[in-house]
Amino acid sequence: MTELWLVRHGQTEYNVQDRVQGMANSALTPAGRAGAAALGRGFKQAGVTFDAAFSSDLARAQDTAQLALAAAGQASLPLTLDAGLREENYGKYEGQLTNDFAQSLFGLPDFKAALLAHELNLAQIADATYAANADQTPNRAEDNGMVQRRFDAALRTLTVGQTGRLLVVTHGTVTLMWLNYIGFDTRGQEMLHNTSVTRVAYADGIFTVHDFDDDTYLTLGKEA
């Protein structure tokens, strides 16, 4: 059996500014870097070690992975970058304030409030974003199905020849959309916490979720 420890990257400048992030690069904040290091310390405190490490090739995920591995005492573990682990592509809306994005596409004034009130879900947002990018040549945005299939293929590919525990540092929205794709009940949660862990077992082509949006290791590392 193989375990995938899916980690959302640390807090970024775009997170703080409430901007659409997607595939745009946004640097970790000092708090984001501290959180990544705390996560690694938490792994070390809990005796968690990894047999292989993977990351989205976006800077915020790479930096989170490297900081966590260093703090966990596994800085020498090679980090494999994979574009298939990237966040959803929002096309022309990347970098835009999330409230402006919600107003433009849905006529809603507050993006986070709309998510929390379940006025919007991630599938609707992705599909509407893709449609609204139809005036772009090429249209680089992704709809819900495109995001889910891309991420699922990336995870299945990286497990080939791998056993044991794999660190996979990626992004929040794409992880949630994929969890919906494999039939896991996220109970309407539309955001993952920065540096949270979602632990997934993989055997015989089947993914089984054991922990979801878990901050145990982050908390343990902060207390160390």
Instruction: Please list the residues that pair with 200 across neighbouring strands.
Output: 4, 209
Which of 172, 86, 177 lies closest to 126, judged by CA? 177
The catalytic position among 3, 87, 94, 142 is 87
Give 66's contacts (C-beta < 8 A, 6+ positions apart): 75, 79
Phi, psi of 134 (to 5 degrees): -65, -20
Torsion of CA 200, 18, 141, 100, to 10 degrees: 140
Instruction: Return the axis-axis angle of helices 122-132 and 98-106, rounded to nearest 10°.
Output: 80
**Residue 31 contacts residue 148 (beta carbons within 8 Å):** no
3-state secondary structure of 7: strand
Query: Is 13 considered catalytic here?
Result: no
| CA nearest to 87, candidates 3, 146, 135, 2 | 146
Active-site residue (options: 9, 142, 171, 190): 9
Q: Answer yes or no: 9 catalytic.
A: yes
* Residues with active-site annotation: 9, 87
